[in-house]
Amino acid sequence: MAAQLPIPVYTALSEAFPDLATAAEQAVRFNDVAQEFERRFGHKPTYIARAPGRVNLIGEHIDYVLFGVFPAAIERDILIACAPSASQAQTPALSLGG
């Protein structure tokens, strides 16, 4: 069973990326996502979530039956911009590639 740790919430990139050069690189990506969201939906996102990539070095889908696995986080990640909507209409998804 996975540990129940709190989800970290940051209000500044420097909190997640203490190295200034890395924070500056990430700022470009976060700004691109925020600008594209605003262009498509007419307002800024409420949140931008980041999830690191993951690979399983040993085991794949066997943890569901309680076999051991050896996952590792990798530097590749995904950014997701979102905001609440009063509409019940479905909203298109967007992939920036790269």
Helices (H) and strands (E) in the chain, counts: 2, 2
Task: For 34-66, write each residue's pLDDT tens digit.
Answer: 999 999 999 999 999 998 898 888 777 777 777
CA nearest to 57, candidates 42, 74, 44, 40 = 74
**Contact (Cβ atoms closer than 8 angstroms) between residue 26 and residue 17:** yes
Enter the tokens of residue 36.
């594209």
Q: In the chain, pLDDT over 90 holds for what percent of residues? A: 46
Mean pLDDT within 62-81: 84
H-state helical runs in the chain: 13-16, 20-41
Q: In the chain, pLDDT over 70 holds for what percent of residues? A: 91
